Amino acid sequence: MNRTADEITARNPDAAASGGARADDDSVLTVENLEVRFDTEEGELSAVDDVSFAMRRGRILAIVGESGCGKSVTSYAILRLIQKPGRITGGTITFRPRGRPPVAITDLAENAEALRRLRGGDISMIFQEPMTALSPVHTVGNQIVEAILLHQDVSQADARARTVEMLGKVGIPAPERRIDQYPFEMSGGMRQRVVIAMALVCNPEILIADEPTTALDVTIQAQVMGLMKSLQRDLDTSVLLITHDLGVVAQLADDVCVMYLGRIVEQGTVRQVIHTPRHPYTIALLKSLPSLALKKARLPSIAGSVPALSARPPGCPFHPRCPHARHGVCDVGNPPPSEHLGAGHYAACLRVEEVARSEGRMPDVECRMPNAGTAKDNS
């Protein structure tokens, strides 16, 4: 039976309001009904629309989706790094540090000292391209030392010693020599390790990794991802991983949010989302992953592309590309709310039961990265 969005909301009243976010004592960060808009010549465009999720302490949460789905904008909003003409227009972001009262990040003034302490101290970020995150005219050591001195009351000598120690932890050989090198003297893999060291040197409670391996080849990608997993476990850091690669998600993440056109369309544990996907977009992403089982068969692809924000379709945002879309059901009204499917699994689809019956169980996802662990990049 097909259900309208109103019928789903009536069946599960808190689904539409929360979008699947469930704050509890184990949550380190809660995002509720977040909206980010940009003022353009075409009018006000919504890049993030009613996004809600909760990060559990000590776990890795991945936000996955195609380019243009709003993943990076969501991560920038958490640290209040949205630049004009963009702005946060609704929702709340709450950080719950250990042993301290919760911090409502969305209530902090842009120039507040508390916000400056938060950035790089309690919450750190690894940006997509290390050469844009590192200054080319300062040594990597000076840049990491500066981050330490900004957030901790230590001497210059202690900060330098911590820098050498952290460079060694991230797998950089001869850190006592490398600390005085400039970014251009290092390979791409080494620069990425430096950025990771800078992000982790102040022992943040949350690490946001925005496509941290985009510019790296697949072997170095495996090494960096294995390194992040090892450090997350050793330092007990919660990680928000932004990626478009479900193979990476299957290997690293504990929980997953699938994002499409500024909205979260499915979320749950990695086992739920990978093995029993319920939203057609998640299913299409999984089917488009390369697999040895395909042999010479043509790799399935998702028809069309993510529409522009100025051409957002009515109803379900994925319906123009969805093989399960039904005229008069999926292409009218507001986007469907998230429906609770049980055990923390949510999907925003009006035909979720019919889709599950027609698709059945998905095959196991093969990670495309070699399991390189924390092997060092000596190039």
- Cβ within 8 Å of residue 39, ≥6 positions away: 85, 86, 87
What is the Cα–Cα distance from 344 to 354, expressed in whole angstroms? 20
- CB burial class (10 A; 0-12, 13-18, 19+) of residue 142? middle
The two structure tokens encoding residue 291: 């697999």
pLDDT, position 316: 95
- In the chain, where are the structural domains located? 5-122+206-359, 130-203
pLDDT, position 143: 94
Question: What is the per-residue burial (b if ≥16 Cβ within 10 Å, else e) of 173-189?
Answer: eebeebbebbbeebebb
pLDDT, position 372: 38
Return the residue matching tokens 């949510």.
346
Half-sphere exposure of 290 (CA within 13 A, CB side): 8
Dihedral of alpha carbons 73, 51, 314, 66, sign: positive
Spatial strand order in the sheet of 206-210: 123-126, 206-210, 238-243, 60-64, 255-260, 263-269, 345-347, 339-342
pLDDT, position 378: 40
pLDDT, position 4: 44
Dihedral over alpha carbons 348, 350, 354, 360 (to 10 degrees): -10
379 residues of the chain, pLDDT tens digit each: 444 444 433 434 443 334 455 555 689 999 999 999 999 988 899 999 999 999 999 999 999 999 889 999 999 999 999 999 999 999 999 999 998 999 999 999 988 888 988 998 899 998 877 777 889 999 999 999 999 998 888 999 999 999 999 999 888 999 999 999 999 999 888 888 898 889 888 889 999 998 887 666 777 777 778 888 888 888 889 999 998 888 888 888 999 999 999 999 999 999 999 999 999 999 999 888 876 555 667 778 888 889 999 899 999 999 999 999 999 999 999 999 999 998 899 999 999 888 888 876 555 554 443 343 433 344 3
Q: In this structure, what are the phi and psi dihedrals at residue 366, rounded to the nearest 5 degrees?
A: -95, 125
> pTM of the predicted model, to two decimals?
0.84
Given a contact cutoff of 8 angstroms between Cβ atoms, the answer to whether 283 and 355 are in contact is yes
Given a contact cutoff of 8 angstroms between Cβ atoms, the answer to whether 324 and 284 are in contact is no
The topology under which CATH files domain 5-122+206-359 is Rossmann fold (3.40.50)
- Cβ within 8 Å of residue 265, ≥6 positions away: 258, 259, 279, 281, 282, 317, 318, 347, 348, 349
Dihedral of alpha carbons 378, 183, 127, 164, sign: positive
